[in-house]
A and B are shown apart, each in its own frame.
Chain A
């Protein structure tokens, strides 16, 4: 892999009339806006109401889980419908550390991601032999097995679940500060981390794997290792979102923690927003969140509408909303492509 990249960059060096552009004006603006948003999320306790903080935290969790799914499906070519496994184990790890071991819950959240990382590493040993739909089903099986195992595990109160009562020992302000900072950190890791990763040479290798794993391997990309790393990284990101989400929920039970809704929501957000783009996830998450807030009170019919929307998108607009936007204006917010420009003397 290294040689392949080194060779290509040498070629670029030898021909100075051509240059690679990776930053556009729109991306610079988007970068500034992202930093501002991140600061806004982190400083929420200073300006936002408790209710708004709660909503933003929830939205951040959706963005993160969907972004991780996008990383897997849109770049790694790994379609998982069992991401809830990592949501669940991380959330349970956080509950155990905070409620049973008496650890500071805000510290327990970042620590809890160790568990999904380990679970991901172990399960990949079983899953990496499966391909395409078989892999998807395999991930679901993993999630179900973990749900069943948790529901008979007496230490975490088995099927009856746990409540995070320790949270009431913190003042509302402390809780707001803690969860806002954690959410900002999560966004930074999930969106910022994905952006950096995709712009790196690993990102290029990932795109190559998605398009054709055999061809990528023939170019010197270590397909197996890279898939493993992206699987573990996505598990960590998903787990972080799970721990933060359930810290806001205060209560966990196995069916809630390992709810397949996480996979459904991720698929919706990514398919409607735009598969294989960072911008699409942000748009998709916003669409889901707004639909959920506005229409949830009129019954669950809106879920049917969202499902149909996903179907229509998958059939007629595979690039999602972001793809449609891109057709009108080619102003990328987070460009991960390399644009080759020829300098005319």
Chain B
């Protein structure tokens, strides 16, 4: 389909032929035919961390957007007619202040019809706040939904303009517990949390990781939270060692986890499993630990093993990952699926909107979203919160790979039974 599209030069004759051939039904062919009658240009504002410490997230956002832009070159056929689509991409520089600034600029000066803050709380939350106050429909992803809704004061008072789809912290936590349940251990879990927004959320005694872990019958050890970028974890390691924890769970960034794991090795502490969020998201984080990275486990956002098809390109996850690897000469990363899915949802919303150039109409379309994307179903009506749709999450383990140093394998499906795990979790090699 793509190939055909690129070879196709639109002349009047081919246009008529195309019409006759029934290509009008196709999302790719149709825009070409009706190019001349575009009812206007839909402006979509995208805020993504293209540079700064969270640039790894922005990398997939930018790439996925390029692909969709190519597809929509000829415009978009919607329920309300044919429109051109313009994406206005702004870099949040991984900085919440910058994110609010560029989002405000997109909403108030560029008058975008839809705002898409792409990933990470530092980009999503400030941009969503701007959208909420300035009345612009907004769809975001790429951060656990509680971290986006609760700190913004949305726990009891739902938002009107801002919608978020992602898995929830509770589901991630249950995935962790599910993972640990399948592992033979003394059921003692040491917890590792940083002193920041993520640590506060994950480490919360009421709704953070400690709650479901205790409930599942594990004993927990929570030493003091560590300062991000610290170079000394001895306080934590001593506490874990004294309590003889077989499992380490929590959240840490790659540099911190590397320090932690190295110091565990130096101090002779060898737990059977280390399951942490954030640091193990990217293969680069695992590779940074060298051979110690083998067997680390984490939650899984998305892998090429996901069986769902894209509504935009018809690709399955494996195709998208392969395309990324061929073009970028790099291993696929987990946010890639979400970068693509966000655009799937946005385009689906515009297609259904009564008037894509009207913010209120787009909002109505967002609320009614019910779509099966590359990363799974997205439906805001069924979410646990008025502004949230939850997406599937699995438990995964990094193992030595074939094409790349490490591969992420799905080892647990406790929370979402959408498909079977690829294999069973194995204890860390050093504990054997």
Interface residues in chain A, defined as those with a beta carbon under 8 Å from any beta carbon in chain B = 49-52, 54-55, 58, 99, 148, 151-152, 157-165, 167-168, 172, 248-251, 253, 255-256, 259, 261, 293, 296-297, 299-300
Contact = CB atoms under 8 A, between A and B. Distances in A.
B140 interface: no
Contacts of B89: 297
A160 B122 CA distance: 10
Nearest to B196: A159
A251 B152 contact: yes
A55 B105 CA distance: 8
A148 B195 CA distance: 9
13 contacts: A51-B109, A54-B109, A148-B227, A152-B195, A161-B96, A163-B151, A248-B104, A249-B129, A250-B129, A253-B197, A297-B88, A297-B90, A299-B50
A149 to B, nearest CB: 11
A297 B93 CA distance: 10
B91 A249 contact: no
B96 A255 contact: yes
**Most chain-B CB neighbours within 10 Å: which of A152, A255, A259?**
A255
B357 interface: no
A58 B98 CA distance: 11
Contacts of A55: 105, 109
Interface string B56-96: 00000000000000000000000000000000111101011
A163 B97 contact: no
B125 interface: yes
A253 B108 contact: no
Contacts of B107: 51
Contact of A159 (B104, B125, B200): B200
Interface stretch (B130-138, B393-401, B413-421): B130-138
Nearest to A301: B51
A38 to B, nearest CB: 23
Nearest to A248: B104
Contacts of B196: 151, 159, 255
Contacts of A249: 97, 100-101, 126, 129
Interface string B215-233: 0000000000001000000
A51 B105 contact: yes
A158 B133 contact: no
Closest 9 CB pairs of A and B: A51-B108, A51-B109, A300-B51, A160-B151, A163-B152, A256-B96, A159-B196, A250-B129, A249-B100
Given A50-B108, A165-B153, A300-B51, A256 B97 contact: yes
Contacts of A259: 95, 97
B105 to A, nearest CB: 7
A160 B151 CA distance: 6
| Size bracket, chain B contacts | 35 or more
Interface in B204-262: 227
Contacts of B95: 256, 259, 261
Contacts of A168: 132-133
Contacts of A163: 125, 129, 151-153
A49 B134 CA distance: 13
B153 A251 contact: no
Nearest to A49: B108
B197 A300 contact: no
B307 interface: no
B289 to A, nearest CB: 25
A99 B153 CA distance: 10
B313 to A, nearest CB: 26
B152 A165 contact: yes
B265 to A, nearest CB: 29
B192 interface: no
B52 interface: yes
B200 A165 contact: no
A164 B151 CA distance: 11
B157 interface: yes
Nearest to B157: A165
A49 B107 CA distance: 12
B105 A54 contact: yes
A52 B101 CA distance: 12
B203 to A, nearest CB: 10
Contacts of B153: 99, 162-163, 165
Contact of B129 (A151, A159, A160, A251): A251
Contacts of B151: 157, 160-163
A130 B92 CA distance: 37
Contacts of A162: 151, 153
Nearest to B97: A256
A95 to B, nearest CB: 11
A192 to B, nearest CB: 26
Contacts of B200: 158-160
B124 to A, nearest CB: 11
B51 A253 contact: no
Contacts of B97: 249, 256, 259, 261
B304 interface: no
Given A165-B152, A168-B132, A251-B100, A160 B197 contact: yes
Contacts of A164: 129
B282 to A, nearest CB: 20
B362 interface: no
B194 to A, nearest CB: 8
Contact of A250 (B100, B102, B150): B100
Nearest to A166: B153
Contacts of B100: 248-251
B109 A250 contact: no
B199 interface: yes
A54 B130 CA distance: 11
B275 interface: no
A296 B99 CA distance: 11
B119 interface: no
A58 B90 contact: no
B51 A159 contact: no
Contact of B130 (A148, A250, A256, A296): A250
A52 B198 CA distance: 34
Contact of A296 (B102, B199, B227): B102
Contacts of B98: 296
A151 B195 contact: yes
Contacts of A297: 88-91
B201 interface: yes
A159 B152 contact: no
B52 A300 contact: yes
A159 B102 contact: no
Nearest to A53: B108
B144 to A, nearest CB: 12
B61 to A, nearest CB: 13
Interface in B157-215: 157, 195-201
